Amino acid sequence: MTTADEYRLLGFTDADREDAEKLSVDPAAVAEFATELRRLMGTFPAEDELKVPDDPLVSVATFLATLPDIRRYHQQRGIPDEISWATLADLGKQLDVNRRTHGSFGLETHWWMTIHWTGVIYALGRLQFLLHQLPASTPVPGVEPGEWVIGVHIPESGPLTPEAVDASFAQAREFFPRYFPEYPVRIATLGSWLLDPYLLDNLPQDSNTVRFGRRFTPYGEPRDSQDSAIFFTFRSHDLTKLDEFPQDTTLQRLIVSRIKSGGTWQTAHGYLTL
Ligand SMILES: CC(C)(COP(=O)(O)OP(=O)(O)OC[C@H]1O[C@@H](n2cnc3c(N)ncnc32)[C@H](O)[C@@H]1OP(=O)(O)O)[C@@H](O)C(=O)NCCC(=O)NCCS
């Protein structure tokens, strides 16, 4: 049973806590997914090694059921409580994103939360850092496939100021050698719509986004991903609603005007030395 305190630490809104308390899903499906998560915790599973349940609500129930397990894993590694909870609180954020996107309780991004629940991603200040081996499919110049690197992720939690980003990277440089000494890291990678070359050329050059993006050296070929730009900006997947999206900010106007003029937003990759 998840306690009120745990729901709070997991970042649940009141509406999502109420719905979570009423959650009724197949206990066998929860038990099966819980066994998988426990087996893979701390093993750095490859992306295709963990299959999420068909029903995202089974995943929600399983994340709650295995909260003691992932908390124990963090404790065994010596990870401070504050970092452990800040990391796991992405569950509450993602439930809230689901509610804003679809208007209801759910967890569209349940695959994403398996990363937290297998113990490979950590929230350190403004950013999240995912420890993994560089896949051969996206080579980084000067880095051997299989080398341990950290993937940078940007939660939606306020402005991405240069000071907050500097502080996050400073934390990462200390955190990984201390708590994961057997996986030495020297490179951070980012794969994101925030690195779309068009975005970096067309947002104001002194914006947080451009200043953040310019920290990374581009590698690989950008690939089309219209959905990322509208999902992360408008929390919608519906390209037929372009005329309904708010047009209050520079970013919102840029996203819509590019699509309307026939353009396609992209995801691009970059890296930096820690
Ligand atoms: C990345 C992010 C933190 C940047 O926020 P920020 O620091 O406020 O951004 P900037 O200073 O670069 O903003 C430049 C302009 O874009 C606007 N803007 C930035 N992010 C916005 C968003 N998510 N929605 C609407 N407008 C946004 C700002 O208001 C500003 O416009 P203005 O001058 O007209 O007010 C923010 O866009 C965000 O939370 N995104 C969702 C998370 C995400 O995309 N993660 C990466 C997933 S791969």
Domain residue limits, the chain: 1-119
CA of 125 to the centre of ligand 1 (A): 17
Q: Say how far apart CA 79 and CA 72 lie, in whole Å.
A: 10
Which pLDDT value is given to residue 205? 98
pLDDT tens per residue across span 181-191: 999 999 999 99
Protein residues whose CB sits closer than 6 Å to any atom of ligand 1: 154, 156, 159-160, 192-194, 203, 207-209, 232-233, 249-252
Among 83, 149, 154, 148, smallest CA distance to 119 is for 83
Atom of ligand 1 nearest to the CA of 210: 12
The CA distances from residue 123 to 84, 86, 115, 172, 175, in Å, are 8, 6, 12, 9, 11
Atom of ligand 1 nearest to the CA of 160: 7
Mean of the per-residue pLDDT values of the chain: 97
Please tell me the residue having the least CA distance from ligand 1 atom 37. Answer: 233
Average pLDDT over residues 154-179: 98
Atom of ligand 1 nearest to the CA of 161: 7
CA of 92 to the centre of ligand 1 (A): 20
CA of 245 to the centre of ligand 1 (A): 15
Residue among 126, 200, 209, 212 to mutate when testing ligand 1 (max atoms within 8 A of CB): 209
Q: Which residues contact 72 (CB under 8 A, 6 or more apart)?
A: none
Which pTM does this prediction carry? 0.97
CA of 41 to the centre of ligand 1 (A): 33
Atom of ligand 1 nearest to the CA of 248: 34
Q: Say how far apart CA 270 and CA 268 lie, in whole Å.
A: 7
pLDDT tens per residue across span 38-63: 999 999 998 889 999 999 999 999 99
Q: Which two tokens stand for residue 249?
A: 């900010």
Q: Say how far apart CA 76 and CA 78 lie, in whole Å.
A: 5
Which pLDDT value is given to residue 17? 98
% of the chain with per-residue pLDDT over 70: 100
CA of 233 to the centre of ligand 1 (A): 7
pLDDT tens per residue across span 208-247: 999 999 999 999 999 999 999 999 999 999 999 999 999 9
Name the band, by pLDDT with cuts 50, 70 and 90, for residue 172: very high
Q: Say how far apart CA 31 and CA 35 lie, in whole Å.
A: 6
Average pLDDT over residues 257-266: 98
Which pLDDT value is given to residue 46? 86
CA of 182 to the centre of ligand 1 (A): 36
Sheet holding 187-192: strands in order across?
121-124, 127-133, 148-153, 187-192, 266-273, 217-224
pLDDT tens per residue across span 88-142: 999 999 999 999 999 999 999 999 999 999 999 999 999 999 999 999 888 999 9
Residue 8 has pLDDT above 90, yes or no: yes
Which pLDDT value is given to residue 48? 85
